Chain A
Amino acid sequence: MSIFSKLINRRSNWAVPYAIFLAIFVALPLLLIVLYAFQDAEGSFTLQNFVKFIRQPEAVNTFIYSIGIAIITTFLCILLGYPAAYILANANLNRSHTTVVLFILPMWINILVRTLATVALFDFAKLPLGEGALIFGMVYNFLPFMIYPIYNTLQKMDHSLIEAAEDLGARPSVVFTKVVVPLSMPGVMSGIMMVFMPTISTFAIAELLTMNNVKLFGTTIQENINNGMWNYGAALSLIMLIIIGVTSLFSDGDEQSDSESLI
């Protein structure tokens, strides 16, 4: 047996090509972000990129404004999405699977096409583009990502728990607040991850929806990279990564299993 066929016969070795690929195209690039973030243009170590960010009121304001927009969007998505998910998952209120499919369908359409459609709607309704359009567009774009995970957890929930609560004398409102809501929290958490993360990192949507009037943090990063400020751009990316890392610490990170079950 040649060495080659011995390598092939050991099936754990089949992951080797992908392991190398991951090292080059996932691990190394992330390392480069960190590396660039702590370097100046000449390549020597510096904290100047971070100092620059803190010293620039404009960048910090954009940062805070972006977080604000992301929080508002996420909040509105929960407000609109939770009842929808609850109705979809409740057999007494909705029996058709088609409505469920209709709600997840927009997730599969190119985000720029969707944004384009929102712009078209505002044009059609003769409404001005701006902050309102931005929030509407964000909610419109990301609402399905909130509904789907909540719907999923509610769907999987053991119905006998609700009956048990009723049996123990709980009023419908108590059943909802003490049983349904706590049990659906994992879904809400991953919904928050799936909405908050893209909203905080988005850039093109804002430009399209506000005629370039409102700037989000993603846009700031993109502009810096485009203008050759790679080190500063990398530092800003790192700050965004940290924000996202902190957010995901609060949620269970169930997002993966949800996107998996889409198909």
Chain B
Amino acid sequence: MKRFFAQLYLWLLLAMLYAPIVIIGIFSFTESKVLGNWTGFSTELYTSLFNGGAHHSLLDAIKNTLSIALIAATASTILGSIAAIGIFNMRGRKKQVINLLNDIPMLNPDIITGISLFLLFVSLGISQGYTTVVLAHIAFCTPYVVLNVMPRLQQMNPNIYEAALDLGATPMQALRKVIIPEIRPGMISGFILAFTLSIDDFAVTLFTKGNEGLETLSTYIYADARKGGLTPELRPLSTIIFAVVLLLLIIINIRAKRNAKRNQAM
């Protein structure tokens, strides 16, 4: 009986959490401009989302979002992984300082990170646009990569790097053949995290995108909503995003389970 009420509570809460998404999902399959009017099943909104047409700028925003996320996630994975190896081998005060600085972007609210970077670009006289957004995204994504790679380094037998040197590998070969394979799972989860954080971001992008008309999905929705009406194509888009995130999370969970099994076997 207790169990029944507990489950009931959970599912009521989940219903509340998912109601908006479900409604958007349902109404993405009808043509009506206004949400809530069911005018019959149609995939028209999906077609027009991908054909662009009248909403050329929405498609641009999606492209920007994805390309920025890809560049930022790749750059922060490289920068963060190298940094993690460096920090792991540091000692004492310097290590504390760099760890503290690494924590700041994770603890800072987005708006503060956004404004601080805005002030940086303004004071340095750098005109804002695509490049500054990418730089800003690298700035708040890299700490998460470091955070994901670091535990792999800590778990790693400290002697395996030396074992590789001992067997005749140059430091670079040892890195490629031994260290990177060891930290790869951390790099992958760091990359995925960085990618989603970048796609998710709104505040930092808003402050660093300048006013040359660069839009990402978040800023597009924001601008659209401020103009009044919401573009109907946002409904199929949200549905797709939801589906992709669901898929990603399932993959990550399967990976985590597999890793846990592998660790148990050790």
Contact = CB atoms under 8 A, between A and B. Distances in A.
Interface stretch (A46-54, A98-106, A159-167, A180-188): A98-106
Contact of A237 (B90, B112, B142, B172): B112
B230 to A, nearest CB: 7
A112 interface: yes
Interface string B137-170: 0110010101110010000000000000000000
A22 interface: yes
A88 interface: yes
Given A12-B86, A18-B80, A120-B35, A29 B242 contact: no
A32 interface: yes
Given A26-B101, A201-B112, A237-B111, A18 B82 contact: yes
A109 B245 contact: yes
Contact of B192 (A18, A84, A208, A263): A263
Contacts of B60: none
A237 B252 CA distance: 36
Contact of B225 (A99, A111, A116): A116
User: Range of interface residues on chain A?
Assistant: 35 or more
B109 A259 contact: no
Nearest to A104: B249
Contacts of B120: 24-25, 28-29, 32
Contacts of A94: 6-7, 10
Contacts of A118: 20
B27 to A, nearest CB: 7
Contacts of B16: 140
Contact of A116 (B115, B117, B234): B234
A218 interface: yes
A111 B202 contact: yes
A124 B189 CA distance: 38
A110 B241 contact: yes
A103 B18 CA distance: 10
A157 interface: no
B123 interface: yes
Interface string A122-155: 0110100000000000001001100000000000
A60 interface: no
Contacts of B142: 18, 21
B111 A33 contact: no
A27 interface: yes
A21 to B, nearest CB: 7
A139 to B, nearest CB: 9
Contacts of A200: 109
Given A29-B117, A110-B200, A201-B109, 19 more contacts: A8-B171, A17-B83, A18-B83, A18-B87, A25-B135, A28-B120, A87-B6, A93-B7, A94-B7, A104-B249, A109-B245, A112-B218, A120-B35, A120-B235, A121-B20, A144-B17, A208-B222, A260-B147, A260-B151
11 contacts: A11-B86, A19-B83, A29-B119, A32-B116, A87-B9, A101-B250, A108-B245, A111-B202, A237-B112, A256-B107, A262-B193
